[in-house]
Amino acid sequence: MTPSVENVRVTSRNEDADVAVRMEGVDKWYDTFQALKDINLTVASGERIVICGPSGSGKSTLIRCINQLEVIQKGRIFVDGIELSGRRNIAEIRHEVGMVFQQFNLFPHMTVLENCMLAPMKVRRASRAEAETTARRYLERVHIPEQADKYPAQLSGGQQQRVAIARALCMNPKVMLFDEPTSALDPEMVKEVLDTMIDLANEGMTMLVVTHEMNFARSVANRVIFMDRGEIVEAAPPEEFFNNPKHERTRAFLGQIS
Amino acid sequence: MIRQFGWNEFELLVFAARWTIVLAIIAFVGGGIGGLIVALLRTADSRVARTAMIVFIRVFQGTPLLMQLFLAYFGMAIFGFSVNPLIAAMIALTAHASAYLGEIWRGCIQAVPHGQTEAAKALGLHYFARMRHVVLPQAARIAVPPTVGFLVQLLKETSLTSIIGFVELTRQGQIITSVTFRPFLVFGLVAAIYFAMCWPLTLVARWMERGMARATNR
Ligand SMILES: Nc1ncnc2c1ncn2[C@@H]1O[C@H](COP(=O)(O)OP(=O)(O)OP(=O)(O)O)[C@@H](O)[C@H]1O
Ligand SMILES: [Mg+2]
């Protein structure tokens, strides 16, 4: 007997009312290459997780599994109590999960405002007026209301990334995923994007952030996760993670980046 | 008996050009719809759909339009339909144009960075919204020049339908030449009429390209 979606939701809600994301024994393969090995991770609602690790360790893959940009081969993933089940509820999950990419991925043929209005109108069926109000509110929140009528190419990298954040927020997601949001930015623009993310954290957003910004991790994260070769090697509050890493591989990694 | 080339003959050419235009419009519309479907299936997730479209494209690009016209024309009789050159031309031209436009547009769709699709997916946009609002508008920008190039070529290729009985522009030119014995004059006029039909297409293309460049500002 397979439980219906409703049942799954009810039971898991009762079990852990405050869990935003739960991954249980997740394996992910790209053909013959295993990118994720037995990932177990529970993210509480409102929790801020920073994921770090060497290149190719599976950080992007992990967060991309949460909104089903990647399909997993084994294990289970729950978002807000709903189990991901392939095509069936893919749209439902993506409503709840916003994502910000390293390369911004704004739609170049639309203005900033249109970028922010598209999904609420097409996915949430909001009216044009509603969508515009929401879009302008979030552009205000990321401090670029005056850029609303420009095209992405007319903005700086930092501004573009803030638009990307606003665009995701317009869908009113419960969880936000960030994949190296500042890695493509010139150094002087990193701060404005991190500040926007800190604001978001202060408002209680559940966040999973892949980043090499260790100061951000120190000040914002509830937990820092270190990944290597597809595994979660260590997960600890930042204090403990940076001052007292348990694993040799974590120590080696921290030694390299500091 | 040799006929003079006069106003009457000129009018016959112009009337025949109407067939060329009708056939071209059929091919453009049929090929436009068919080509879009081919391009979308060719870039779909489903392997079956992709393979089927590759076969379709290979077959219709790898055989002459002339043969396709023949096969459509005589095929109709074999499958028990009454032989109708217009329908045969419609089928052959649509299939031919769908294969070429499908392949051209596939390239344009694939030239849109993958991150665009991913961002649209992450926002929860389903397939049709993603294509309609994100991918196709960007693909269209780069699609204009090769598309118009192909349409111009297609307009000229409609002359092949004379083989199944259409008296379109080229065929009418041949007929008139055979009674007036003024090939240079007649075919000169035929060429000029083709040019007058193709030239506006290139103008429209240039105008569209400029409009899109302005809208995107990239
Ligand atoms: N589409 C794919 N096909 C095949 N292999 C892939 C694919 N995407 C990622 N990989 C492989 O999976 C592994 C994990 O990739 P992933 O992008 O998750 O790493 P990462 O930790 O995000 O690295 P980086 O810091 O470089 O972004 C890498 O070895 C990568 O080569
Ligand atoms: Mg990565």
Where do the structural domains in chain B lie, given as residue ranges? 7-210
Task: Evaluate: CB of A54 within 6 angstroms of ligand 1.
Answer: no
Task: Return the DSSP state at A70.
Answer: S
pLDDT of residue B79: 87
For residue B216, what pLDDT band results from cuts at 50, 70 and 90?
Answer: low
Choosing from A29, A30, A52, A101 the residue with most ligand 1 atoms within 8 A of its CB, the one to mutate for a pocket test is A30
- The mean of the pLDDT values for chain A is 91
Task: Evaluate: CB of A64 within 6 angstroms of ligand 1.
Answer: no
Mean pLDDT of A101-124: 96
pLDDT of residue A12: 44
pLDDT of residue B1: 65
Does the model's ipTM exceed the 0.85 cut?
Answer: yes
pLDDT of residue B215: 64
- The mean of the pLDDT values for chain B is 92
pLDDT higher for A99 or B145?
A99
- Ligand 1 atom closest to Cα of residue A102: 27
- The model's pLDDT over B101-155, given as tens digits with 9 standing for 90+, comes to 999 999 999 999 999 999 999 999 999 999 999 999 999 989 999 999 999 999 9
- Does the structure show a pLDDT above 50 at B49? yes
For residue A8, what pLDDT band results from cuts at 50, 70 and 90?
Answer: very low
Task: Report the alpha-carbon distance of residue A237 to residue A242 in Å, rounded.
Answer: 9
pLDDT of residue A93: 85
Residues of chain B contacting residue A99, judged by C-beta atoms under 8 Å apart: 119, 122
Mean pLDDT of A16-39: 92
Q: What are phi and psi of A209, to 5 degrees?
A: -125, 120
pLDDT of residue A9: 43
The interaxial angle of helices B65-78 and B85-111, nearest 10 deg, is 130
pTM of the entire predicted model: 0.89
Residue B129 has its nearest CB partner, among A97, A103, A122, at A122
Interface of B with A in 60-119 (CB under 8 A): 113, 115-116, 118-119
**Homologous superfamily assigned to B7-210:** MetI-like (1.10.3720.10)
**Which of these ranges, A22-26, A40-44, B178-182, has the smallest mean pLDDT?**
B178-182
Residue environment code for A60-83, b if the CB has 16+ CB neighbours within 10 A, otherwise e: bbbbbbbbbbbebeebebbbbbbb
Task: Report the alpha-carbon distance of residue A17 to residue A22 in Å, rounded.
Answer: 12
